[in-house]
Amino acid sequence: MIQECIICLQLYLSYIMEKTVLITGGSSGIGYEMSLLFARDGYRILWVSKPPEELSMAKQKITAVYPDLNISTLAKDLSRISAAKEVYEWAAEFGKIDVLVNSAGFGSYGKFTETPLEKDLAMISLNITNLYQMTRLFLVDMEKRNDGKIMNISSSASYFPLPNAAVYAATKAFVRHMSNALHLELKSRNSKVQITTICPGAILNTGFQEAANMQNVRTFSSGLASATPQEVAKDAYNGLLAGKKIVHTGWKFRLNYWVTKITPSFITNSLLVREMERTS
């Protein structure tokens, strides 16, 4: 009887001490690669993504690497206006969320007046509205207990006017500006809650290109600022642990970011036009 009580107490202590990370878009791309890093460090993982089949397959894949991983999933279209509140209520069943990673998002490519209006509106809803709501809902709880971390995925696109991806770049600029402002707000209040913004360059070998209709767009093949999902995830995770305000992932983008600081704008704009063209 005593031994059973000790085992129950150990399980309870393990449960309450286990840290939890909620990752939107965690079943693919950089969200999945970051999930591997959180799993390695003993986090319980909550995934929210749209395709149920992708969630199921990704769960099988990650638990093959970490058989003891505590992971729960929710299939949800995050572009819906009510999705953030539904995710928040679902996550409440698991107790406090130590880390929120807003990784879900997609792009759109083409002439401004020719891209599907419905797709652009859904992109704005997911990349901006949902991220705003998720950040706000979970930030309230984190501020109450003066603890927690939020990672928002922006993009290198947030720094530049991207021809043929004007709306996508604008959504990512919103993410960067809002997140950086929140970082300063929290710092001014001496809050221990942390906001980290991630700005990757073009990410290779993910479903982003196909979803954005960006197959054969030069920026993914020129090598000027591209990086692998693994490289981006590692830089992002290390930046989060280090408490950084903003992380430019991939050494190529970090180099190009500083080069553009001293490059005349007409040269930068000319390069942007070239980078955003199709190679065939």
pLDDT > 50? residue 11: no
- pLDDT at residue 10 is higher than 50: no
pTM of the model: 0.84
Residue 164 near residue 109, CB atoms below 8 Å: yes
pLDDT at 22: 98
Q: Is the pLDDT of residue 9 over 90?
A: no
Tell me the average pLDDT across 231-254.
88
- What is the distance between the alpha carbons of residues 21 and 244, in angstroms, rounded to a whole number? 18
The pLDDT value given to residue 276: 57
* Least confidently predicted of 30-34, 184-188, 256-260: 256-260
Q: What is the pLDDT of residues 38-77, one digit of tens each?
A: 999 999 999 999 889 999 999 999 999 999 999 999 999 9
The torsion angles phi and psi of 187, rounded to 5 degrees, stand at: -65, -40
Alpha-carbon span 92 to 86, nearest angstrom: 10
Q: What is the average pLDDT across 95-114?
A: 93
The per-residue pLDDT for 6 is 47
Q: pLDDT per residue over 106-162, tens digit each?
A: 888 889 999 999 999 999 999 999 999 999 999 999 999 999 999 999 998 898 888
Give the chain's count of helices (H) and strands (E): 11, 7
Q: Which residue carries 């460090």 as its tokens?
A: 41
Share of the chain above pLDDT 70, in %: 74
For 246-271, write each residue's pLDDT tens digit. 999 866 666 666 666 666 665 666 66
Mean pLDDT of the chain: 85
Model pLDDT, residue 39: 98
Contact predicate 162/228, CB 8 Å: no
Fold of 19-275: Rossmann fold (3.40.50)
